[in-house]
Chain A
């Protein structure tokens, strides 16, 4: 989907600096949020791609305000509510009670975990189809505007590149994030020159990105 998460090439974010004394978790709750987020896929019967999609479903203001582990916490809650493990508002009510308010906690809903077939653990799959593209092929990233989850940033869509590697085939996040199946596909690394992406005068560089076969077309 088109949204706040798709940051490549957007402007106005300021400068980047390294904090050499950074801790893995700046505050204790971030570690708890990380662990709960990591466990939420299994507990909700969803998957990694659904988790990534849940990040995209956050309100753009929340996405930015919550920070990385705040997003993990929000996404854990989102997936668990989607799957009926927790009621909508349950976390909010409990948090208010922990803060000394008297909030009524909602009853548990019916479990509603998604039903779908997985072809194995992880994301990589063996497939029989021959790769449609070969190393050295000139391709174009399709000008896709899918309304759900996918993994093709806006900044490469519609642009011409060259295949540099064929990677292991993998489940298509567009399918798994929405529990419609796996649709495993070949994955390619594609090189785009900076001026193709950013126009004349772009800083000299090459961009390598991994694209699923259905994201690509011949030029």
Chain B
């Protein structure tokens, strides 16, 4: 077996080294790097997807557009960019449950959900959810009845799947903003449901 470089310097030092080498050659600068980090820490994340979900729950015309052409409908919010070339929205219901994975890497709808969380990138999730989805979902806190249909979506090309969760009971009076606050990242990947407000 070819040896892995046995004494590689630690990743934080290698990152610093790579950035320094590229900066010295005028190929990157700290502002651009900081800007990209800031975008994914503060501006792009599950709050984007939650706005789409709340709108779809409260506006039937919007929901129809979202289901017909996800990319265009999320674009109405300005949500677009890398890993969002073609958005396909799949609806969860009491009888049909959908869950998304990328077994080959960790493809994820960045413009709607930001960068993927650890569990989505975990070999345990990538390997198992295609083979024993009900067991994995139960492990993650979502027990599904045997009569619920389960569909797993493996994101192996450039289509990015986004789950429209079921609207929870007891939310008829809530505003769009209050509804958005209920929607979790996990529900928009399909490993959880949205809970009723407590």
- List residues of A whose CB falls within 8 A of some B CB: 5-11, 13-19, 22, 24-25, 27-29, 31-36, 38-39, 43, 52, 55, 59, 61-62, 64-66, 68-70, 73, 76-77, 80, 85-86, 90-92, 94-96, 98-99, 108, 122-124, 151-153, 155, 167-168, 170, 187, 189, 191, 197-198, 202-212
Contacts and interface: CB of A to CB of B under 8 A. Distances in A.
Contact of B158 (A7, A16, A170): A170
Contact of A68 (B25, B88, B104, B106): B106
B45 A24 contact: yes
Interface string B120-137: 011111111111111110
Contacts of B18: 36, 73, 76-77, 80, 91, 94
B15 A33 contact: yes
Contact of B151 (A10, A62, A168, A206): A206
Contacts of B25: 85, 108
The list of the 5 closest CB pairs from A to B, nearest first, reads A8-B103, A95-B9, A210-B157, A94-B17, A29-B12
Contact of B33 (A14, A32, A65): A32
Contact of B119 (A17, A36, A92, A210): A17
A24 B103 contact: no
Contacts of A55: 105
Nearest to B124: A13
Of B19, B41, B82, B149, most buried by chain A (CB within 10 Å of CB) is B19
Contacts, number: 233
